[in-house]
Amino acid sequence: MMKIDTISENEETVDVVKDAIGKTIKKLWLEDDTTLIFHFTDGSGLELYDSMQECCEERYMRTDDDLEEFIGAVLLDFELKDVFEEDDDGMAENYENVYHEIQFLDVKTDKGVFQMANHNRSNGYYDGFYIVAEKITV
């Protein structure tokens, strides 16, 4: 069962992700803690990032998985996991209350699943995530 449609309400993003399914990963990395980049053996590429950055927040991606292990894998699916939030006392001195939301993105391959954690730290006024996929030429 494919979960591609959970990536975004943006139809263009869904189409770009669907086009990447079944391709073999040639290169894979997290750039600047904000963008997950795929290069495929057919010469195409894919970037995934959270496009909702606002003025009073910090957004970034992390993974504990070794992305090098997934080179040569066939991309099978993506799935977003539920968001949770917590108070965070360590972001900035000028915020009275700091909220830290996390949303997980599971990337499924024929070599297994790796998980990206999308983070949003803010004063609570800005929240949520908006994952965007863009096709790139490599």
Tell me the pTM: 0.80
As a whole number of angstroms, the distance between CA 81 and CA 115 comes to 10
Selected residue with higher pLDDT from 7 and 98: 98
How many CA atoms are closer than 13 Å to the CA of 114, on its beta-carbon side? 22
Shortest CA distance to 105 belongs to which of 96, 113, 115, 95?
115
- For 80-97, how does the pLDDT look when each residue is reduced to its tens digit (9 = 90+)? 886 665 555 554 444 556
